Every structure is written in structure tokens, then in C-alpha cells.
Amino acid sequence: MLQLPDRFATLRTETERTWQSPGQVNFQPTASEGGPTQFRRSLCIVRPVKAGEPLTRYDVRTIRPGYGLARKHLEQLLGWRVVKDAGAGTPLGWELVQAARVTSGQH
């Protein structure tokens, strides 16, 4: 069994090796993970919304299939106006919303 000073020397060596290792952080799916995205959750309209209405928490949910925007955009989209009528089950995409938030606090 290694003594305490030897353990620290090993820890230092392995830490340096880790920092020097090549590579990049990638948050996108790799080619091997690619596969069908329909099994992932995404943002969808869950009740009918008329053009011009702002999106609320009651209008949008994260559900499967994953044909809409990623759920990380939910907070960003709340309060944005819908540019055309959308029925329940419609995947939420950027083309469906107007980029100006409603400031009346209706979300």
C-alpha cells in the first residue's frame, strides 16, 4: 500500500495528465448517439392558441416526440406572441413565435 506522500505524488501526476489530455467539451449528440430524435422530449403546444396570444405555462409542455424546440428554451419563450393559430400537439418552433415579449405579465 502506498504511503501518504506517495499517494499525493500519484494524485499530482494523474491530475497533470488529465489537464494535458486532448479533447473538447461537446454537448451535442455524437454520431453514435444520433439516432431518432423523436424519443427525446421537446416543447409542444398543449392547448389551442390563437395568433397574437402570448405563450403561458398552460400552453406549452415538454412531451414526446421531440420535433419541437429543446425544453431549455421554455423560460425564454414564455410571454412571446404566437404568429399563427396553433392547435394542441403542435411542435413549438421559432417560426411559430414572434421574438417580442409581452410585458403585461401574462405568463
Q: Is the pLDDT of residue 25 over 70?
A: no
Q: pLDDT tens across 42-99, in order?
A: 889 999 999 999 999 999 988 877 778 888 888 888 899 999 999 998 888 888 887 6
pLDDT number for residue 63: 84
Buried b (16+ CB within 10 A) or exposed e, 25-56: eeeeeeeeeeeeeeeeebbbbbeebeeeebbe
pLDDT number for residue 41: 82
Q: Is the pLDDT of residue 106 over 50?
A: no
Cell for 91? 411542435
